Structure 1
Amino acid sequence: MDEAGCVVAKMVESGFSPDCFTYNTMINGYCIAGNLGEAFKMMDEMGRKGKPIDAVTYNTLISVLCKEGKLDEAFDLMTEMEKKKLGPDRYTYTAIIGALTHAGRIEKAKKFMSKLL
């Protein structure tokens, strides 16, 4: 991720502005590396720079929050996603249903599954 960050910094120095795809790639990389704090910082930077935060951004973060058992934070992001009319979509529901099932919250998982159907 350090090297990827350097590439993005050089890109900016050369006059190119990272786009949504670049930001989402960096966010995904930080999530894979287990650095959720940096992933959220990158999302905040997107917003400050006027880049659209899309369903991919939200689903990437929701997915990792679910994998880490941080369901309340995942629900908060899903609510934010809904307010912006970006979803939730099947990727969001899959992550949340999987996390709920893994946490033994079967009834809540069934409720979410019924929304999907």
Structure 2
Amino acid sequence: MNRIGDATKVLDRLRSKGFSPDTVTYDIMIGTLCSRWKLDLAMKVFRSVVNRSLLTYTILIEATMLEGGVDEALKLLDEMLSRGLKPDMFTYNTVIRGMCKEGMVDRAFGIERL
């Protein structure tokens, strides 16, 4: 229904009452924001999440790549790796597709070394 502001208020209300939304809740929120081209707001929600999942990172990496931010997406990938999360097939596909789309085919070949 495109009521992102209301969804954000619900999350804020839950947190203020001592409830802690799980990663699935945040993944849905972040994915919805990204699908509506609200990457800045998605990143704000992402930065407020302590326990970030592989899916959370992959959603944001894909959204960042779609906006042409290969270097920013690779920073997210590095952050993900530094937190001990290992990329899966979907993460690799997202990164490689984004790099190839931006004409970075040679650079994409180096991704296999992660």
Q: Shared fold (TM-score greater than 0.5)?
A: yes
Provide the TM-score with structure 2 as the length reference: 0.83
Q: Structure 1: which 5+ runs fail to align? A: none
Q: Counterpart in 2 of 1:99?
A: 98
Does residue 7 (structure 1) correspond to residue 6 (structure 2)? The answer is no
More deviation, 87-96/65-74: 87-96
Aligned residues, how many? 111
User: How big is each residue's C-alpha offset from its partner over 1:29-81, in whole Å with a ceiling of 9 and x where there is no partner?
Assistant: 1111111111111112112xxxx111111111101011111000111110111
Residues 72-109 of structure 1, C-alpha deviations (whole Å, 9 max, x = no match): 01111101111111122212211111111111122122
- What letter is aligned with 1:25? I
What is the identity percentage for the equivalent residue pairs of Structure 1 and Structure 2? 32
C-alpha displacement at 1:25, in angstroms?
Answer: 0.9
Match of 1:72 in 2: 71
Report the Cα distance in structure 1 between the residues aligned to 2:35 and 2:86, rounded to whole angstroms: 23
The residue aligned with 1:86 is 85
